[in-house]
C-alpha cells in the first residue's frame, strides 16, 4: 500500500512556471529562492500532496541515481495541473521503459543502446548534414522573413527521427501534431486521449508493416533481432518518437534565439567555429528546455541528505534550476560558450539519462553551424518582446521565431 503525506506543510510552495519578465532564458525566480533555502524543499502538488522539489545540482544527481526513488508510474503526480493527468497509467503500452525500474528498464535499454552509440551516431553525420542543407536551401529560396520553428527547427528533428524509425513521409506531420498535443499543458484530457489513440493506431500500422517488410531502421531491426511483442514495440517507438522530436526542436529554436540575443557570444562563435561543441554544451546547460521533471516516487521510507522521505512521496527534479546552481557552475546565470563544461544534467543522469544524447548533440552542432554559416546576417524579424515562449508546455521553447537575413 502506498502512503501519501497529508497536506499540512505550510512551507510547501507550488511549482512555478512563469519566467522572469524580460528574461526568457532564465528559470522562474522561485527556483533560485528555493535553492538558497535548501537544495531540496517541500513542494505542494495540485491535489494537495506535499512532496519535494530538487533545485541543487548534486542533490539532483543523487536523486536520479538512487534506486529508492522509483520511475514507476504508480503514485506519480505532475507538479502542475495537466488536463490529461487523470488518465489511467494502466493504459500505457508495455515497452515505455521511461516508466520502469531495473531490471525491466535495463533489459529495454540494452536492446536499444547499440543504436545510439557514439560510433553509430557519427555515421549519421553525412545524412543529417544533407537533410540540414536541404532545409536551408528551401529557406533561402523562399526568402525571409520566415518562422525558424516551422522552417527549420521542427522539420530537422522530424526528418532525422522519422528516418531512424522508418516513419512514412506522408504521416510525419501527423506524428508531430500528436506529440505537440501530448506535451502541451493546455491540451484537454479528451484531446490528449484522442492523440494517444491516434498515435497508437498509426504506430500499430507501422509495426505491422515493419514485421512484413523489415527495413534497416531501428524498428525494422527490432522486429528481426528481438522477440519483442507489438505492444512492447509500440511503447518503445512512442518513447523514441517523443524524445527525438520535442527536445531537439525546442533547443534548435531557443538556442538560435539565445545566440541572437547575445551578439558577443555569437560573434565569438563565428570567429572560431571550433567552439561549436562547447557552445552546444553551454546552450544545453543555460536553457535546459525540459522544464517539468524528471519525477520520481519514493519506493520506501528512508532518510535522504538529512531529510525524512516517506514512501509514496513524489519528488520533482528541476533541471533548469540544477543547471544554474552556483555550487556547480561559476557565475551560472551568465551565458558563456567558452565555459567548457559537460557537468550539466540537461539530459538527466543515472540509468534514465537520455539515451539519444549523442544524437541530439550532433543534430544541434550541425544545425546551429549550418544555419549561421548559411545566413551570416541572420537576425530577428520582430522586436524581442514579441517572441512568445512555451511556458505552458512540458518542454520550454519559443512558439515562433521570425527571422530574416
All cell numbers assigned to 211? 514485421
Contact 60, 54 (CB under 8 A): yes
Contact 402, 382 (CB under 8 A): yes
* 4 occurs within a structural domain: no
Query: Residue 88: its pLDDT value, please?
Result: 42
Q: Is 117 exposed, middle or buried (0-12, 13-18, 19+ CB in 10 A)?
A: exposed
CA 345 to chain centre: 11
Here the CATH number for the domain that contains residue 307 is 1.10.630.10
Query: Residue 195: its pLDDT value, please?
Result: 81
Span 162-212, pLDDT tens digits = 899 888 877 777 777 877 777 676 777 788 788 888 888 888 999 999 999
* 12 occurs within a structural domain: no
- Residue 330 sits at φ, ψ, to 5 deg, of -70, 135
- Residue 338 sits at φ, ψ, to 5 deg, of -95, 10
Q: Scan for cell 546552481, then name that residue.
A: 325
Span 208-257, pLDDT tens digits = 999 999 999 999 999 999 999 999 999 998 888 888 888 999 999 999 99
* 22 occurs within a structural domain: no
DSSP-assigned states of every residue in 179-225: HHHHHBTTS-HHHHHHHHHHHHHHHHHHHHHHHHS--SSHHHHHHHH
pTM over 0.95: no
* 376 occurs within a structural domain: yes
* Range(s) of the domain holding residue 229: 27-398
Does 64 score more than 80 pLDDT? yes
* 16 occurs within a structural domain: no
Number of domains in the chain: 1
* 372 occurs within a structural domain: yes
Contact 384, 261 (CB under 8 A): yes
Does 72 score more than 60 pLDDT? yes
* 175 occurs within a structural domain: yes
Q: Cα–Cα distance between 390 and 149 in angstroms, integer?
A: 12
* 5 occurs within a structural domain: no
Amino acid at each position: 500500500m502506498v502512503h501519501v503525506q497529508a497536506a499540512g506543510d505550510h512551507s510547501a510552495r507550488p511549482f512555478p512556471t512563469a519566467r522572469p519578465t524580460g528574461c526568457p532564458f532564465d528559470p522562474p525566480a522561485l527556483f533560485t529562492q528555493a535553492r538558497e533555502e535548501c537544495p531540496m524543499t517541500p513542494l505542494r502538488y495540485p491535489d494537495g500532496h506535499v512532496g519535494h522539489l530538487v533545485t541543487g545540482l548534486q542533490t539532483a544527481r543523487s536523486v536520479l541515481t538512487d534506486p529508492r526513488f522509483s520511475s514507476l508510474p504508480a503514485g506519480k503526480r505532475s507538479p502542475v495541473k495537466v488536463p490529461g493527468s487523470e488518465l489511467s497509467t494502466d493504459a500505457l503500452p508495455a515497452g515505455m521503459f521511461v516508466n520502469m525500474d531495473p531490471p525491466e528498464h535495463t533489459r529495454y535499454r540494452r536492446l536499444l543502446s547499440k543504436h545510439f552509440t557514439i560510433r553509430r551516431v557519427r555515421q549519421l553525420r553525412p545524412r543529417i548534414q544533407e537533410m540540414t542543407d536541404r532545409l536551408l536551401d528551401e529557406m533561402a529560396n523562399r526568402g525571409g522573413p520566415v518562422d525558424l520553428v516551422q522552417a527549420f527547427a521542427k522539420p530537422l528533428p522530424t526528418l532525422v527521427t522519422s528516418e531512424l524509425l522508418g516513419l512514412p513521409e506522408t504521416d510525419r506531420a501527423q506524428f508531430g501534431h500528436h506529440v505537440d498535443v501530448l506535451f502541451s499543458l493546455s491540451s484537454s484530457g479528451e484531446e490528449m486521449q484522442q492523440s494517444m489513440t491516434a498515435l497508437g493506431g498509426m504506430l500499430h500500422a507501422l509495426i505491422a508493416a515493419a514485421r512484413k517488410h523489415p527495413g534497416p531502421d531501428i524498428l525494422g531491426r527490432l522486429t528481426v533481432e528481438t522477440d519483442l511483442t507489438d505492444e512492447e514495440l509500440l511503447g518503445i517507438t512512442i518513447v523514441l518518437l517523443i524524445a527525438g522530436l520535442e527536445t531537439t526542436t525546442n533547443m534548435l529554436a531557443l538556442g538560435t534565439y539565445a545566440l541572437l540575443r547575445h551578439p558577443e557570444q555569437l560573434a565569438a562563435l563565428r570567429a572560431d567555429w571550433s567552439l561549436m561543441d562547447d557552445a552546444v554544451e553551454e546552450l544545453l546547460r543555460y536553457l535546459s528546455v525540459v522544464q517539468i521533471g524528471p519525477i520520481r516516487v519514493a519506493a520506501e521510507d528512508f532518510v535522504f541528505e538529512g531529510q525524512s522521505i516517506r514512501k509514496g512521496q513524489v519528488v520533482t527534479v528541476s533541471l533548469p534550476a540544477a543547471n544554474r546552481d552556483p555550487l556547480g557552475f561559476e557565475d551560472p546565470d551568465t551565458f558563456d560558450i567558452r565555459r567548457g563544461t559537460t557537468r550539466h544534467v540537461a539530459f538527466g543522469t543515472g540509468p534514465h539519462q537520455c539515451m539519444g544524447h549523442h544524437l541530439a548533440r550532433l543534430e544541434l552542432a550541425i544545425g546551429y553551424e549550418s544555419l549561421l554559416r548559411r545566413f551570416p546576417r541572420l537576425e530577428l524579424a520582430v522586436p524581442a518582446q514579441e517572441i512568445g515562449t512555451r511556458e505552458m508546455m512540458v518542454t520550454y521553447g519559443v512558439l515562433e521565431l521570425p527571422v530574416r537575413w
